[in-house]
Chains A and B, each alone.
Chain A
Amino acid sequence: SQTIHQWPATLVQPVGSPLSLECTVEGTSNPNLYWYRQAAGRGLQLLFYSVGIGQISSEVPQNLSASRPQDRQFILSSKKLLLSDSGFYLCAWSVGRSGANVLTFGAGSRLTVL
């Protein structure tokens, strides 16, 4: 069966520090991978998605970036965090992108920027 791992679960970072969140998927090949952010009281905002190694689509211009160095690995990074980067970050995967393809989420990473 397929599983998705995301870490770290919780982190507190000072403004201006770097960030690296990692996500890996097991039990499937060539998954579609996504990074979402959920701010308090707001819906899930799609940040990045990837349909293959090295292929990244950015949804929102910001100081975050994403990389996919391996088929089942998706990394969210920042060189300098802002206060507004605080939130709940969720990695997700799907087999395909259309129709009934379900997004399955990782457990999430709660980031607090102070």
Chain B
Amino acid sequence: GQNIDQPTEMTATEGAIVQINCTYQTSGFNGLFWYQQHAGEAPTFLSYNVLDGLEEKGRFSSFLSRSKGYSYLLLKELQMKDSASYLCAVRDWSNDYKLSFGAGTTVTVRA
């Protein structure tokens, strides 16, 4: 597998910022994805990184460092609806381009 690690749970206050870290090990890195999954629902795509640096999409940003095998998802101005599980996934060309997922980080936003 791709040994994808991310924290199990995080809690933050509405309006605050939360950073979800993801580390991975892969032989043929071909991109990193972040997905959001609300309880009982399917994952939905949030962001994609393949080059080092920060990708910003509104309140959500994703960062990648390929040399460190590290990414983070930054959620700003947290809203109650952001309470969900956030999945880090890595594509590996040496593994037939399959997308492997971490176990997910459950973020709880409190009022």
Contact = CB atoms under 8 A, between A and B. Distances in A.
A49 B98 contact: yes
Interface in B86-111: 87, 89, 91, 93, 96-104
A27 interface: no
B7 interface: no
Contact of B97 (A42, A98, A104, A108): A98
Contacts, number: 51
Interface residues of A, number: 22
Interface in A40-80: 41-44, 46, 49, 57, 59
A90 interface: yes
B98 A46 contact: yes
Contacts of B30: 98-99
A26 B52 CA distance: 35
A44 B30 CA distance: 18
Contact of B4 (A43, A49, A110): A43
23 contacts: A43-B4, A43-B100, A43-B104, A44-B43, A44-B87, A44-B89, A46-B98, A46-B100, A98-B30, A98-B97, A99-B30, A100-B31, A102-B33, A102-B48, A103-B33, A104-B45, A105-B42, A105-B43, A105-B44, A106-B42, A107-B41, A108-B42, A110-B40
